[in-house]
Amino acid sequence: MAQVFQVIGTRPIRHDGLDKVTGRAQYGADIQLSGMLHGRVLRSSHAHARIKSIDASAALKVPGVEAVATAADLPESGDRIAHLGEGAVNLRHLSSNCLARGKVHYKGQAVAALAATNPHIAEEALALIKVDYEPLPPVMDVREAMKDSAPKLHADVFTEEMGQLKKDKPSNVAKHFQFKLGDVHKGFAQAAVTVEREFHTATVHQGYIEPHNATAMFNPDGNVTIWCSTQGAFTVRAQVSELLQIPVSRIKVVPLEIGGGFGGKIRVYLEPVAAVLSKKTGKPVKILMDRAAVFEGTGPTPGSYIRVKLGADKTGKLVAGEAYLAYEAGAFPGSPIGPGAMCIFACYDIPNVLIDGFDVCVNKPATAAYRAPGATNAAFASETVVDEICRQLKIDPLEFRLKNGAKEGTRRADGPIYPRIGMIETVEAAKKHPHYVAPLAPGSSPFPRGRGVASGFWFNIGLKSSVTASVNNDGTVSLVEGSTDIGGTRVSVAMQLAEALGIRAEDVRPVVADTDSVGYTDVTGGSRVTYATGWAAYEAAQDIKWQMLEKAAQLWKTDLDNVVYDKGVIRAKDDPAKKITFKELAEKIQHKGGIVVGRATVDPPWPGGAFATHIVDVEVDPDTGKVSILRYTAVQDCGKAIHPSYVEGQIQGGAVQGIGWALNEEYAYNAKGEMTNASFLDYRMPTSLDLPMIDAVIVEVPDPKHPYGVRGVGEVPIVPPPAAIANAIYAAVGVRMNELPMSPGRVVKALAAKK
Amino acid sequence: MKNFTYFRPTTPEQAVALLENRWGNTELLAGGTDLHDLQKEYVAQPARVVSLSGVNALAGIRVEEKSVRIGAGAKLADIANHAELKRLFPSLTDAADQIGGPQIRNMGTLGGNLCQRNRCWYFRDEHTNCLLKTGQRCFALDGENKYHAIFSQGHRCVIVNPSTLAPALIALGASAVVQGPNGRRTIELGRFFRAPGANNEREHVLEANDMVVEVTIPRSNLANASYEVRHKQAYDWPLVQAAVSFERGDGGVRNPRVVLGHVAPTPHVAEAAARSITGQAVSEATAGAAGRAAAQDAKPLSQNGYKVKLVEVAVKRALIIAAGQKRYWEV
Amino acid sequence: MSDTKETTGLSRRQFLKGSGAAAAATALGTAAAPGALAAQAPAAQPVPGMGPAGVKITLQVNGRKMSSTVEPRVTLLDALRNYLDVTGCKRVCDRGTCGACTVLLDNKPVYACSMLALEAQGKEIRTAESLVQGAKLDAVPAAFVRFDAQQCGFCTPGFVVAMKAVLEQNPKATPAEVEKGLAGNICRCGTYEQMRDAIYSLCNTKRGS
């Protein structure tokens, strides 16, 4: 039965709106502390080299330079695995990624850092740190790196082959695993149509606008405070604790406003370095990254090689699917190959599946999460092959998805059986949408136009969240949460508390707190904040309600079971005259009855997952290869839209990034393994004028487990765009683009090859 | 950025007097949009910076009876938005209007646009010691060269000249007035650029103690247009640019000039294209033939073969715009 | 791999006497020959140089005169943020490519990262902070709030200033003209749809019409 809501589904103004538009909001770079030093990081100029020695003596003689840090200042971490909220990481690798130990594995890797009295001195003195490198040949491409003859990044990385570590010889392939369902050979034997294709995708960056930053103040008493831009203050605390071998209780992480993250601000880069420099100097140290360092030194998302084979019978039913995915982990093992392999066929019910996944080290920055990590690469491949099957069978691509789409009870190749999900509903909504109903009209130019569709899946995650909620005597509630707010989650969390209490969203004052001021909360990632932290807010509201009922019962000198809470009003069951609003009671208890503070901590079950289906119309200029997007519609199941504007914003934002990935963005490397386009100008992120209007269509198939039916929304919208655009290009000009990005040069080349 | 001593002269003569007879130690600062980037990358490390912000004589656009005179200090936005210039020389104003975004156009100047350094990523990398620094070879020649020259015959360095105003101005027959230590001289813009090959050479023929003070364009009724093929709609460099001008006559196009940008170390005059369209009425067929003629001598590098096709397209479309015909490619 | 030989991997930076790391650079013998300045400089020179040591500057920022001492190399952006505590303009690319540092300089939008603080003297500088006076919020940032044309908010002050510039110069600008004025700014969260809503509202035009 559908719930009736008062707050949920409305669009209140965000609490932090004014501060952000007028530039008042405090971000990490805005921090100024008395006596603060400025740190800079020296980065490797080689893609692959042994560090023979580091001599900082000249830099240390520069007046104003107060300390230099290298890997020697970090404790040896050993091969321990730490869980960071969204993925696990080997601490020795994480440490070496903060300050390289022994070797550098990519150009831009941090090698040393120094702190000085002003940023100019720091920058100039940095050039005086002498690093003696023994250059080694780099390997930049995933398939090259898989060869036995390839240069090896690590002497101590061995292939984990189907769960067994093959310790005979080091390898760049850190992991090979399989997911199996049914029998693919039998499956393909039943197929009337089989299509097998290869795909390549370029390394791309999350591209958050705010560069990484960290300010640390290490006090003589052994306590350290860190101000930074992060998706998870507690994961920063955990990483710094592990890397510097300090108890978590000695570390306070203060998350400031965060200027975008998209998965890239979970792992630490600067925080431990600033802490070490602060410890050495006894002064606060602030380090800001510049844009080139963000591109060259922080996690992009992997380039990949993918092969997909799909078979369908003559009725259009998928009978078998095979996939081979090799993802570039970058410098250290840990690409999102796992989720990529799980997602590749996740939209479909396929009885026979075999998926091979490979995690491969190459001399690029260690990859980090980026919005549905691994899924976009995979969907580009699988959704293109699906489109080819539809064409061969002459089946409408949405009909095909209705026939084959995953639904409750479908088993995914990696094991799980879906609970209630909304894949089919997104397809139905797309099919009914005026965009799809209307035929693609020719334009004023003679150039070919085409329409493409693609679907996508992302799991979303649960994980832990804590909140406290204090009732103020004016009837408002101060909500303290640990989830940093990247895109408006203060509001979507506050709204769930308000709904549960029957008060206005504006009467909840959300605050994102530091690690000493709120209970443990996992990262803002995995599309989990509105789902899990919102759930915690709901539970805290129940705690408040319970306490308010107690207060009312005391006030009226009646039994607790004689009072009820109904949409912000407390009543006595036996006396209609006895009723008091939340606000009135809040004021009363200030004087008599005691203060009410609600609290909750949740570790909810993993959610049912999110699906999206996108429709795009393009026009291709066959002379220049330029692809123009004419119209874009993104349909997505969000369970229940708490704040529909923010749901739409996430859908549009994900689609925008997916469009950039599809058409523009890539890391260009030269033969030495140096990124040649580490600037916004050369990396070509889309601007407003490059982007069409994106119509976000919300479908609501509530997650039955969540109190309000919420599903995460932030990640899945980046998954379909590259495939949808590739399919539209095919519809327009009859060439299959199998490489990202689909830049003008590549399109021209593909068109020429067709002729 | 390395620190420097800053000078703010008020006349061109003072400015030139502050320059040196060798490159590198002293740099002229106009809009700053290029110089400061190079300084931040330590590719430029001047000890002295001579700002032109106080030289009022460099500003201003004057439309006179025989010529149009544009001060070297005129902002790109002023050129792009100048009503009379738009009417006379849309090739120039369109090219100016497509540079960067509004902020760049409010900062960048005509003189800076003509004298800016090239965008080669090897040149702009602090750690790469290429020909234009003190190195011995061009890394783009057999390296990452997808945005490099396709007409680089005889040149050791395969950059493309980055100016998009230059092809338009050359096609319009413009000249630069240059102030040197011994007075002023005029250089046709068609002879203003050169392919640099060493650290003591720039993308133009000026001496280190010269500066552009003005560009003059003869007034005419030339049909003219500039067309850029770009990857992004906004804030992007052209992959290829073509600027054209011609006289309209009863017997078709007369005295055409076709100048390509972003295909060679200098703006590239495509004489074969001009010959091809001479005496023809502009149509998709004749303009297309001119485009093919423009591309015929191209010698692409390993990664930029796609540009050959783009040259054909850019020339064809520039001719069609200049002839006032329907822009068939617009969505 | 033939590239490897000619590139040293070492910095080619020079040091200048009188710069921030001045004394040290000299002590280390890494400074450019002092003669470079004296010997090469032209003889008669009526124009005085400023710096390389700190120079006193006065900037007119958001209606107030603000003074500080900065080296010539300090950009307007760094002067505003680090010396004058005006932090609404953000340092994102520091190369004039993203628009987060956009300020109005004599009413025109410019990149504060790509000009020297010295060059901004005598000009009126306005940042996003100037668009709220007491309790009164200017129509442009108000529209950003109303239509929630932001997610992370980091690029937002730059977009607000760029949009303000267009509408101030031409109050009758069309939505397309206003959007063209945003070509020099990047929003990675992709809130362009909401910005378009804000633009249409500011232009008193109905979207889709």
Which residue in B233, B305, B330 is closest to A689 by CB distance?
A: B233
C11 and C113 in a single domain? The answer is yes
What is the chain A residue with the closest CA to C208?
A: A693
CB count, 10 Å around CB of B66? 8
**Spans in chain C with pLDDT lower than 50:** 1-10, 15-43, 209
C120 and C141 in a single domain? The answer is no
User: What pLDDT shows up at residue B287?
Assistant: 98
C17 touches chain A (CB under 8 A): no
Q: Tell me whether residue B199 is in a domain.
A: yes
What 3-state class would DSSP assign to A164?
strand
What is the chain C residue with the closest CA to B133?
A: C12
C44 and C58 in a single domain? The answer is yes
**Residues of chain A contacting B, Cβ within 8 Å:** 45, 120, 123-124, 443-447, 619, 621, 623-626, 628, 630, 664, 668-671, 674, 676-677, 681-682, 684, 686-690, 743-745, 748-749, 752
User: What pLDDT shows up at residue C44?
Assistant: 53
DSSP state of A257: B
What percentage of chain B exceeds 70 in pLDDT?
A: 100
From the CA of C43, how many Å to the nearest CA of chain A?
31
Q: Which of A9-23, A139-153, B21-35, B104-118 has the lowest mean pLDDT?
A: A9-23
DSSP state of C127: -
Please identify among residues 152-171 of chain B the ones whose CB lies closer than 8 Å to any CB of chain C: none
Chains with at least 3 CB pairs less than 8 angstroms from chain A: B, C
**Beta-bridge mates of residue C64:** C61
**The tokens of C138 are what?**
């200017």
What 3-state class would DSSP assign to B259?
strand
From the CA of B212, how many Å to the nearest CA of chain C?
19
DSSP string, A299-315: -EEPPEEEEEEEEE-TT
C12 and C84 in a single domain? The answer is yes
From the CA of B144, how many Å to the nearest CA of chain A?
6
Which CATH number belongs to the domain containing residue B189 in this structure? 3.30.465.10
Range of the domain at B198: 58-114+173-218
DSSP string, B57-80: GG--EEE-SSEEEEETT-BHHHHH
What is the chain A residue with the closest CA to C138?
A: A22
Torsion angle in degrees (nearest 10) through CA of C109, C113, C114, C118: 90
Distance CA A30, CA C48 (A): 35
Tokens 């005598």 belong to C122
C148 and C197 in a single domain? The answer is yes
Distance CA B282, CA B212 (A): 36
What 3-state class would DSSP assign to C155?
coil
What is the chain A residue with the closest CA to B3?
A: A120
Q: Tell me whether residue B257 is in a domain.
A: no
Tokens 């997007």 belong to A629
Q: Where are the alpha helices (DSSP H) in chain B?
A: 12-18, 35-40, 76-80, 83-88, 90-97, 102-107, 110-115, 165-171, 271-277, 284-295, 306-322
What is the chain B residue with the closest CA to A753?
A: B306
Q: How far is CA B100 from CA A244, B91, B108, C163, in A?
A: 45, 17, 10, 16
Distance CA A329, CA A346 (A): 22
C25 and C77 in a single domain? The answer is yes
From the CA of C146, how many Å to the nearest CA of chain A?
7
Q: Which of C84, C107, C126 is the last residue of a domain?
A: C126
Q: How far is CA A404 from CA A350, B57, B92, in A?
A: 8, 73, 56
The reply to whether residue A621 touches residue B3, judged by beta carbons under 8 angstroms, is no
**Cβ-proximal residues to A226 (8 Å cutoff; 6+ apart), any chain:** A214, A215, A216, A217, A236, A237, A240, A251, A252, A253, A254, A271, A274, A275
User: What pLDDT shows up at residue C15?
Assistant: 47
The packing angle between helices C139-146 and C156-169, to 10°, is 130
User: Contact, A357 vs A717, CB < 8 A?
Assistant: no
**Cβ-proximal residues to B282 (8 Å cutoff; 6+ apart), any chain:** B252, B253, B319, B320, B322, B323, B325
For chain B, what is the domain count? 1
Q: Tell me whether residue C90 is in a domain.
A: yes
**Cβ-proximal residues to B20 (8 Å cutoff; 6+ apart), any chain:** B26, B48, B208, B209, C40, C41, C42
User: What are the φ and ψ backbone dihedral angles of A413, each rounded to 5 degrees?
Assistant: -60, -30
Please identify among residues 28-57 of chain B the ones whose CB lies closer than 8 Å to any CB of chain A: none
Tokens 């290429």 belong to B130
Q: Tell me whether residue B307 is in a domain.
A: no
The reply to whether residue C46 touches residue B48, judged by beta carbons under 8 angstroms, is no
C120 and C136 in a single domain? The answer is no
**The tokens of C62 are what?**
């958001």
Residues of C in contact with B14 (CB under 8 A): 46-47
Tens-place pLDDT, residues A359-410: 999 999 999 999 999 999 999 999 999 999 999 999 999 999 999 999 999 9
Distance CA A345, CA A342 (A): 7
**The tokens of A441 are what?**
């009209």
Residues of B in contact with C95 (CB under 8 A): 37, 40
Distance CA A687, CA C130 (A): 26
Tokens 């209705």 belong to A402
C14 and C99 in a single domain? The answer is yes
Q: Tell me whether residue B159 is in a domain.
A: no
What 3-state class would DSSP assign to C141?
helix
**The tokens of A318 are what?**
């998928």
The reply to whether residue B25 touches residue C15, judged by beta carbons under 8 angstroms, is no
What 3-state class would DSSP assign to A386?
helix
Distance CA A558, CA A543 (A): 20
B313 touches chain A (CB under 8 A): yes
Q: Which of C106, C126, C146 is the last residue of a domain?
A: C126
Q: Which of C189, C196, C202 should be substituted to probe chain A, the one whose Cβ sees the most A Cβ atoms within 10 Å?
A: C189
**The tokens of A182 are what?**
């049914």
DSSP string, B171-230: HTT-EEEEEETTEEEEEEGGGTB----STT--SBS--TT-EEEEEEEE----EEEEEEEE
User: Contact, A526 vs A482, CB < 8 A?
Assistant: no
Residues of B in contact with A630 (CB under 8 A): 331
Q: Which of A19, A688, A698 should be substituted to probe chain C, the one whose Cβ sees the most C Cβ atoms within 10 Å?
A: A688
What 3-state class would DSSP assign to A244?
helix
Q: How far is CA A651 from CA A344, A631, C191, in A?
A: 20, 15, 10
Tens-place pLDDT, residues B166-206: 999 999 999 999 999 999 999 999 999 999 999 999 999 99
Rg (alpha carbons) of chain C, rounded to whole number: 22
User: What pLDDT shows up at residue C14?
Assistant: 57
Residues of A in contact with C192 (CB under 8 A): 652, 656, 688, 691
Please identify among residues 71-90 of chain C the ones whose CB lies closer than 8 Å to any CB of chain B: 71-73, 75
Q: How many Cα atoms are found within 13 Å in the side-chain-facing hemisphere of A734?
A: 6
Q: Tell me whether residue B243 is in a domain.
A: no
C148 and C111 in a single domain? The answer is no
Q: Tell me whether residue C192 is in a domain.
A: yes
Q: Which of B40, B104, B130, B232 should be substituted to probe chain A, the one whose Cβ sees the most A Cβ atoms within 10 Å?
A: B232
Q: Tell me whether residue B193 is in a domain.
A: yes
Sheet with B175-180, strands from edge to edge, namely B61-63, B67-71, B211-218, B175-180, B183-188
The reply to whether residue A258 touches residue C152, judged by beta carbons under 8 angstroms, is yes
The reply to whether residue B1 touches residue A120, judged by beta carbons under 8 angstroms, is yes
Which residue in B139, B236, B331 is closest to A684 by CB distance?
A: B236
The reply to whether residue B143 touches residue A687, judged by beta carbons under 8 angstroms, is no
Q: Tell me whether residue C138 is in a domain.
A: yes
Q: Tell me whether residue B16 is in a domain.
A: no
Which CATH number belongs to the domain containing residue C145 in this structure? 1.10.150.120
What 3-state class would DSSP assign to A107?
coil
**Beta-bridge mates of residue B49:** B6, B27
The reply to whether residue C72 touches residue B5, judged by beta carbons under 8 angstroms, is yes
C77 and C143 in a single domain? The answer is no
B328 touches chain A (CB under 8 A): yes
Q: Give just the sign of the alpha carbon dihedral A15, A17, A18, A24.
A: positive
Q: Which of C5, C114, C188 should be substituted to probe chain B, the one whose Cβ sees the most B Cβ atoms within 10 Å?
A: C114
The packing angle between helices A644-663 and C192-202, to 10°, is 120
Please identify among residues 10-69 of chain C the ones whose CB lies closer than 8 Å to any CB of chain B: 10-16, 18-20, 32, 36-37, 40-42, 44-52, 55
Q: Are strands C55-61 and B67-71 parallel, antiparallel or unpaired?
A: unpaired
Q: In B183-217, which positions are buried (b, 16+ CB within 10 angstroms) versus exposed (e)? A: eeeebebbebbbbbeeeeebbbebbbbbbbbbbbb
The reply to whether residue A120 touches residue C82, judged by beta carbons under 8 angstroms, is no
From the CA of B205, how many Å to the nearest CA of chain C?
21
From the CA of A633, how many Å to the nearest CA of chain C?
13
Cα–Cα nearest to B76, from B52, B54, B104, B51:
B104
From the CA of C78, how many Å to the nearest CA of chain A?
10
Q: CB-based burial of residue A149 (10 Å sphere; 0-12 exposed, 13-18 middle, 19+ buried)?
A: exposed
Which CATH number belongs to the domain containing residue C84 in this structure? 3.10.20.30
**Cβ-proximal residues to A519 (8 Å cutoff; 6+ apart), any chain:** A466, A467, A468, A482, A599, A601
Tens-place pLDDT, residues B238-288: 999 999 999 998 889 999 999 999 999 999 999 999 999 999 999 999 999
What 3-state class would DSSP assign to A404?
helix
Q: Which of C148, C156, C161 should be substituted to probe chain A, the one whose Cβ sees the most A Cβ atoms within 10 Å?
A: C148
Tens-place pLDDT, residues A22-76: 999 999 999 999 999 999 999 999 999 999 999 999 999 999 999 999 999 999 8
Distance CA B52, CA B10 (A): 8
C166 touches chain A (CB under 8 A): no
C137 and C118 in a single domain? The answer is no
From the CA of B119, how many Å to the nearest CA of chain C?
13
Tell me the pLDDT of chain A averaged across its residues. 96
Give this prediction's pTM.
Answer: 0.95
From the CA of C44, how many Å to the nearest CA of chain A?
32
From the CA of C136, how many Å to the nearest CA of chain B?
27
Residues of A in contact with B302 (CB under 8 A): none
Which residue in B234, B235, B330 is closest to A445 by CB distance?
A: B330
The reply to whether residue C41 touches residue B48, judged by beta carbons under 8 angstroms, is yes
Q: How far is CA A286 from CA A33, C77, C86, in A?
A: 9, 18, 18
For chain C, what is the domain count? 2
The reply to whether residue B101 touches residue C185, judged by beta carbons under 8 angstroms, is yes
C51 and C121 in a single domain? The answer is yes
User: What pLDDT shows up at residue B330?
Assistant: 85
Distance CA A158, CA A601 (A): 40
Distance CA B1, CA A39 (A): 16
Tokens 């990484």 belong to A212
B284 touches chain A (CB under 8 A): no
**The tokens of A470 are what?**
């204090």
Q: Tell me whether residue C208 is in a domain.
A: no
DSSP string, A516-572: TTS-----S-TT-IIIIIHHHHHHHHHHHHHHHHHHHHHHTT--GGGEEEETTEEEE
Domains defined along chain A, listed by start: 17-24+462-602 (3.30.365.10), 34-136+209-260+265-297 (3.90.1170.50), 304-460+606-754 (3.30.365.10)
Range of the domain at C195: 131-202
Q: In B39-58, which positions are buried (b, 16+ CB within 10 angstroms) versus exposed (e)? A: bbbbbbbbbbbbbbbbbebb
B302 touches chain C (CB under 8 A): no
From the CA of B51, how many Å to the nearest CA of chain C?
8
Q: Which of C126, C153, C181 is the last residue of a domain?
A: C126
User: Contact, A229 vs A27, CB < 8 A?
Assistant: yes
Q: Tell me whether residue B289 is in a domain.
A: no
Tens-place pLDDT, residues B81-103: 999 999 999 999 999 999 999 99
Which residue in A630, A681, A748 is closest to B331 by CB distance?
A: A630
CB count, 10 Å around CB of A524? 31
**Spans in chain A with pLDDT lower than 50:** 1
User: What are the φ and ψ backbone dihedral angles of B241, each rounded to 5 degrees?
Assistant: -130, 145
From the CA of B236, how many Å to the nearest CA of chain C?
10
